[in-house]
Amino acid sequence: MAPLRYARTPIEIESPEELGYDSISYNLAESSFADQRLSDYGIDTDVGDLLLQYGDHLGLPRLRELIAAESAETGGSDPNGIGPDQVTVTSGAAPALFIVATALLGPGDHALIQAPNYATNLETPRMLGADLEHVEIRYEDGWELDVDRLASQIRPETKLISITYPHNPTGAMIDAETLERIVGLVDDHPTARLLLDETYRSLAPEPLPLAASLSERDRALSISSMSKTYGLPGLRMGWIINRDPELAETLLAAKEQILICGSTADEEMAARVLEAKDRILPPIRAKIDEHLGIVRGWLAADDVRDVFEWVEPRAGVVGIPRLRDPDAIDIDRFYKTLLENHGTYVGPGHWFDQPRSSFRLGFGWPTTDELHKGLAGLLAAAADAAK
Ligand SMILES: Cc1ncc(COP(=O)(O)O)c(C=O)c1O
């Protein structure tokens, strides 16, 4: 096999952390709740007595129990739910996606992947030489997933169907019945598996059941992490949930080859956060609701509505507004003046293979004041860049 052709993606190269957080005053480019310290959540940070041994290869058992318990919250259709041994802890959702893609796909394997999407979901199958077909969602359709079209795209030899909900970068959402229908499609298929990227799951007003808990043939996988919901991407803590024992062995082998096990200290911290979840989540949800309302109000103003439009996000912390009349604006100048003169950063459309006249706007990360100023910057930059 030829060496894998790793290529950096624009979203990573141009990410705020690579650009330098100090060069951005109003950061509307992030796809998570605001970055936090453990002390912000009142979490005991003392790990001085923790033995820094190689940990359990699947992940700290207490942490896996907390993750598995999430299946009971929304009642997956399977009464047995998810057990802690069906959870593989990884250092973030990104490596989880990588492990699953490399475990399931080889050159020429047919994979149906939602587009647009978080870059790794598309990039790893592409790099592996899979026969990648997009499950496209479009602004014109309100970013709705057309499940009939998805069903018609499935071939006898399809290996993977990969979708993300709540969706990044659009904030689109599906309901539990739709998810059950999609799980049914893979359960009726000889080779296909479903990967649901659930990284934003707990930020939904009504979280979906864990996809892995719904599959009668154990053909669905759930991937998530601590990064987005809790604003703790620096913990590098994520997981794969899978009930197929044969695949579980492969996933563990992949993890052992890459990492052996996770960071003992990070896993302990993640467990402490999840133990306090019922206390931590409500204020996060409240801030996100308030900020979505601010963006909604901004877009309702006449002068803003003349320039920008969006399909309002239904869940999560991002949406993807666009310029109503892209021909009236010099797009390169718009992004340049937005950052240089108005201190505001957003995720330009090319991060997601979308037109650059659209951009991802993250409303969960900035403070309320920063959000207001960043939104004002967007309108000012569009005026600066008018042709
Ligand atoms: C949908 C989605 N999945 C996975 C990730 C990876 O996040 P992490 O590796 O920090 O968990 C991201 C990050 O932006 C994302 O948006």
The helix/strand/coil state of 118 is: coil
Is 383 a residue whose pLDDT tops 90?
yes
Mean pLDDT, range 117-130, rounded to an integer: 96
CATH class given for the domain over 44-275: alpha beta
Is 79 a residue whose pLDDT tops 80?
no
Rounded to the nearest whole angstrom, what is the distance from the C-alpha of residue 10 to the centroid of ligand 1? 15
Is 215 a residue whose pLDDT tops 70?
yes
pLDDT in tens, 309-363: 999 999 999 999 999 999 999 999 999 999 999 999 999 999 999 999 999 999 9
For β-strands 220-225 and 193-197, DSSP reports them as: parallel
Residue type, 272: R
Mean pLDDT, range 22-39, rounded to an integer: 97
The CATH superfamily label for domain 10-30+279-384 reads Aspartate Aminotransferase, domain 1 (3.90.1150.10)
- The pLDDT value given to residue 75: 58
124 CB near ligand 1 (under 6 Å): no
In eight-state DSSP terms, residue 57 is S
For the CA of 91, the closest atom of ligand 1 is 9
313 CB near ligand 1 (under 6 Å): no
| Sequence spans of domains, the chain | 10-30+279-384, 44-275
Helices H, strands E: what count in the chain?
A: 15, 14
- Ligand 1 pocket mutation pick from 118, 239, 263 by most atoms within 8 angstroms of CB: 118
351 CB near ligand 1 (under 6 Å): no
pLDDT in tens, 362-372: 999 999 999 99
pLDDT band at 1 (very low <50, low <70, confident <90, very high): confident
H-assigned helices in 276-355: 277-300, 302-305, 331-340
Rounded to the nearest whole angstrom, what is the distance from the C-alpha of residue 49 to the centroid of ligand 1? 31
- pTM score of the predicted model: 0.96
With a CB cutoff of 8 Å and minimum separation 6, the contacts of 145 are 114, 135, 137, 163, 172, 174, 178
Mean pLDDT, range 363-386, rounded to an integer: 98
pLDDT in tens, 154-185: 999 999 999 999 999 999 999 999 999 999 99
Rounded to the nearest whole angstrom, what is the distance from the C-alpha of residue 119 to the centroid of ligand 1? 9
Place of tokens 């002390």: 39
With a CB cutoff of 8 Å and minimum separation 6, the contacts of 18 are 12
- The pLDDT value given to residue 180: 97
Is 21 a residue whose pLDDT tops 80?
yes
pLDDT in tens, 239-281: 999 999 999 999 999 999 999 999 999 999 999 999 999 999 9
Our CA dihedral for 251, 252, 257, 262, rounded to 10 degrees, sits at 110
Residue type, 245: P
- The pLDDT value given to residue 76: 53
| CA angle, 187 then 190 then 194, to 5° | 50
164 CB near ligand 1 (under 6 Å): yes
Burial 89-106 (b: 16+ CB within 10 A, else e): bbbbbbbbbbbbbbbbbe
Place of tokens 């759930």: 222
- The pLDDT value given to residue 73: 77
pLDDT in tens, 181-212: 999 999 999 999 999 999 999 999 999 999 99
